[in-house]
Structure formats: structure tokens, C-alpha cells
Amino acid sequence: MKIGIVIVCYNPDIRTDKLIDNISNDNNYEKIVIVDNSNFRNKKFENLDRKKFKYIPNCKNLGIAKAQNIGLDYLNSIGLKWAITLDQDTIITYSLSNKYIKYLDKKEKLDDIGIISTNYYDIGTQKQKFVFNESEILVDETISSGSLINIDIFNKIGKMREDYFIDQVDNEYCLRLKVNGYKIVILNGIDMEHKIGKIELRKIFGREICIYHQSPMRYYYRTRNLLFMIKDYKDRVVIIKVIKSLVKDFIKLLFEQKKYTKLKMIFLGINDGFAYLLDRKEKNEDNFD
């Protein structure tokens, strides 16, 4: 069995080059799709081997959800049933494809598994994400980067939410999988390095928290989309998670740069999130590029 890869790029850097170098000679990948949300065409990507790579330049930022959908739809059109989705700042080991394919080959029942993912090392926190001794565990959610997506199930339950644009896209998709009775499997072993923003570790009340120093726009979409999920799922667990996340974001603002701008974006997100809850059209997202 062979699988595909979808890499979503936005102003790629040297870390993206390292990622592509790591996977370009891996014969387990039938096709590597690079969906580029940059405002320009990347000549380096255009010159890659076309038998192995498919370069799709959007020439504008369409958001991670739209870009993932474009890539997954392409792989579906050429007959692939499983695909890894990757962010440009994630580095995977050469052995990850073997690990996934070995799991697919030995597993008798796959039609109830929506995502297979791997444990990974978080560069910012300098810790592995999950701690367990079993060969695999089931979880409620995982990040999209490095995850192996079941394309048949992706087609059944609906694609990534393009209105979410950039934040909470993976969490919403995982929640949708769970609601529809599908599993998310994490395999043991560290086969990936992942990085989110420019992480700084701080302690408050004796507890360590991560300050991501992400853009004000991310604060808007994160806040708005968390509120979207309340209406979309009407679930007590989701509501509690949203409240906790919003409280954490307000605490993290104490250590952030551009505090006023980010606070303003949080309130814009709250405004548009409640507009969605009350069936009014949100307006502020049109102001962002």
C-alpha cells in the first residue's frame, strides 16, 4: 500500500526545505502535494520532480482548511485512500511512512478509524506530547500535522471547515469524527518534531504555561472558532473546554507582546462568535488577509 502527503505552505523557509528533503526519496509516498498559500509562486517547488510532486500555488492565503481540502481532493482523484497532512514547520522521520503502512497492512478493520497519528516531540515545550507504554492508544483529538487521514471517511463526514480558516480546524475535525463514531489512534514512538509559533515557557501559580507569541489574527480566529464549536456541537464537554481555553488565553496575554491588539482581536472574535450563535453574519473576518 502507498500513501500520499499534503504539505500546506505559507511563506516557506529553510525548515520547509528540510522537510521536503526528508521525504522526497521515500518510495512509500505515491504523491507529495504541496499546496502553497503564499502570495507568490515558488520556483523551487515548481522545479521538483513532477512524477513525485504536485505543486498547487494558490497565490493568496486561502487558509489551512481550504488548502488541506485542495490537497486531499487531489489525492482522492488519483485513487489514494490515506494521506498525511503536514504543516511546513513539522519535520517527520524517514521511518514514519513505514510505521503507518505497517499498521495499515496488519490491521484487519480500518473503516472505523478516521485518523492514525504518531507521538511527537514538541520543540517549544521540549517534551513528548503523549506518555504511554502501549503500542497504541485512542484519543479524542490530535493535531493535523503528521496525521494520516482516512480519505473515505473524510469524504463521508465532510471536509475541513473552510470557514474556520486557520485555527481549531484540526480540533473541529476530530470532534466531528468522534460524533460520527470514528476513532483517532496514536501510535507509540517519536517520529515527528512539531513547532507552534515562538513558544516561551512561563510559570503562574506554580504551573507551567506555554506562550505561543502568535499573531493577533490567530487570537481572533481561535476565539471565534471556539465559540462556533459551542453552537455546532451543543455539548457540555465542548462548552467547558471552550471556557477553559478562553480563560487561558486571557492569562497568557499577561506575557504576550502587542497585548492591546491581541485583546482587541479576542473581543472581535467573541463578537463574531456570538453573532454566529445568534444566527447573525459575522463581519470582522473580512478585514483580515
Whose cell is 488565553? That residue is: 249
- DSSP tag of 280: P
Q: Is the dihedral of CA 51, 117, 92, 64 positive or negative?
A: positive
Total structural domains within the chain: 2
Report residue 64 as a C-alpha cell: 489551512
The pTM assigned to this predicted structure is 0.92
Length of the chain: 289
Residue 40's φ and ψ, nearest 5 degrees, are -140, 160
Helix axes 169-179, 64-77, angle to 10 degrees: 60
Cα radius of gyration (the chain): 19
> Where does a domain end: 137, 160, 194?
194
Whether residue 204 is found in the same domain as residue 146: no
Whether residue 278 is found in the same domain as residue 154: no
Whether residue 265 is found in the same domain as residue 173: no
> Where does a domain end: 194, 221, 239?
194
Whether residue 78 is found in the same domain as residue 176: yes
Tens of pLDDT along the chain (289 residues)? 899 999 999 999 998 999 999 899 999 999 999 999 999 999 999 999 999 999 999 999 999 999 999 999 999 999 999 999 999 989 898 899 999 999 999 999 999 999 999 999 887 777 888 889 999 999 999 999 999 999 999 999 999 999 999 999 999 999 999 999 999 999 999 999 887 767 777 878 777 777 888 899 999 999 999 999 999 998 899 999 999 999 989 998 989 999 999 999 999 999 999 999 888 665 555 555 4
> Where does a domain end: 194, 217, 244?
194
Burial 33-58 (b: 16+ CB within 10 A, else e): bbbbbbeeebeebeebeeeebbbbbb
Whether residue 187 is found in the same domain as residue 222: no
Whether residue 47 is found in the same domain as residue 176: yes
Q: Residue 41: which CATH number?
A: 3.90.550.10
Whether residue 63 is found in the same domain as residue 185: yes
Whether residue 183 is found in the same domain as residue 280: no
Residue 146, by phi and psi: left (phi above 0), alpha (psi -120 to 50) or beta? left
Whether residue 174 is found in the same domain as residue 205: no
Give the HSE-up count for residue 108: Cα atoms under 13 Å, Cβ half-sphere: 0
Residue 85's φ and ψ, nearest 5 degrees, are -100, 135
Contact criterion met (CB below 8 Å) for 115 and 149: yes
Whether residue 15 is found in the same domain as residue 92: yes
CA dist 33 and 11 (Å) reads 16
Whether residue 68 is found in the same domain as residue 32: yes
User: Residue 5: exposed, middle, or buried by beta-carbon count in 10 A (0-12, 13-18, 19+)?
Assistant: buried
Whether residue 18 is found in the same domain as residue 155: yes
Domain, as residue range, for 38: 3-194
- DSSP tag of 165: T
